[in-house]
Amino acid sequence: MYISQILSKSLEENIMDKKTVLVVDDSSTICTIIKNELTEVGYEVVTAKNGIEALSYIEWMEKLPDILTLDIDMPVMGGFEVCERLLGGRDAEDEKKQKAARIPIIFVSANDTIENRRKGFKLEVIDFISKPFKRGDITRAIDKVLNPEKEFLGMRALVVDDSAGVRRMIKRLLARNGIEVFEAQNGLQALQLVENQNEPYDIVITDYFMPEMCGDELCRLLRQREDMKQVPQFFVSAFDDRDSTLDFFKAGASDYLRKPFIEEELQAKIEIHLRAKKYVNELEKLNKKLENLAVRDGLTGLFNRRYFKDELDNHYFQASRYNLELSCILLDLDFFKKINDTYGHAFGDLVLVQFAEILMKRVRKTDIPARYGGEEFVVLLPNTSIAGAVNLAEKIRVLISNHLFSDGMSSTHVHISAGISTLKIDKPENSDKLVSYADAALYIAKEGGRNRVCQYENTLSPSDH
């Protein structure tokens, strides 16, 4: 009885009016990151370090959590067993166990495999977020479940009708679904909006007969635009004779609704097309993500080693042929193993991500920053002399030394060492030598006490800065 009173007091206080997320992960760093993100957007967050602790919380909490995020691999009890235990209460006589069996579950795990996804699907896991995740990933997944009205948040609609009343009604309906609405009184005005907007629309809802330009002409012109070919175009009109309806679809309409209509009818039809467009958007994003994954490091977002090597070869060839400047900086985080051993690998990943963010802010768009391996990074600097490379490396070194790396619970300072080589001074015989010379200079920086910048200069005699 005493335990239940303590848990009730510590976990239920001030959460009755908020939606609650139970975050279950054996990494205190991950728990803190998720808790901070969700607390900022108004969720109440309770954390547990393993499955047994999570099930104990659920048993004693007066108000059940609205959703769970679960790691798969945890000591004592992992994510799959938690799911099995909760689902086992579905047919129980105890009403609370029945409700607990219906709590939505999202897996948040580094063990992202097809097998685990299939197993999770059978256990009714609703989503799977792979570690390392980016800020906002958790919130978006939870909002999708707990705030379904935000399903279309961020989507854009163009409403075209010469009746202000109709436009208001449609705008109100769309706005409730989180859709940003743009209005036009006729087809000509709508076409001008499309041409002047940088971002594409996700749906066009248009009347048929309007002054200046009718809906069918607008539809035909929009279908000719590359950025509007996949956008659903929805006609609303007082005419429903066979010939008019055929004209709508010949013009490229996706659907049609006769005026007058009720909001529920319009809502049901629009949602079908918005979900289809959202699916198309997600496919496009996935294609871009797959393209990005081919050239980017999954943790830091910097270019990967393979992409860097391709760019290195290209820039070396161009610089050698046209006698251009080309420099290379190789950077390494000092005593990084000690950071992992002291604070854990999740904190080590945080250090790598924050280092990459600082690096990205200092390089130019024409530079090529990449994760070369582990805690080693490289930056290729086209049209940059040794002086420019040394100046950049020193700025990065100072910025990193002054930056406090923190996850809200643990914090530390980190230092880096850097080695620099340059094409005109060091005259490497091939692109690989440019990097190996920078690596040799980095070795000297390490041997010389770390937290310093050294340049190759052929003779391997360092210039410390």
Residues in the chain: 465
Return the ∠ at Cα 93 (arms to 92 and 98), rounded to 5°: 55
Residue 37: active-site member:
no
53, 375, 429, 447: which is the annotated catalytic residue? Answer: 375
Helices (H), 294-406: 305-322, 336-343, 345-362, 386-402
Task: Give DSSP secondary structure letters for 37-97.
Answer: HHHHTT-EEEEESSHHHHHHHHHH-SS--SEEEE-SS-SSS-HHHHHHHHHTTTT-S-HHH
Residue 91's CB is within 10 A of a number of other CB atoms, namely 9
- 395-401 long-range contacts (CB < 8 A, ≥24 apart) are 395/362, 396/331, 396/358, 396/359, 396/362, 397/451, 397/452, 397/453, 399/358, 399/362, 400/355, 400/358, 401/451
Q: What tokens were used for 217?
A: 């002409």
* DSSP-based three-state secondary structure for 381: strand
List active site positions.
Answer: 375
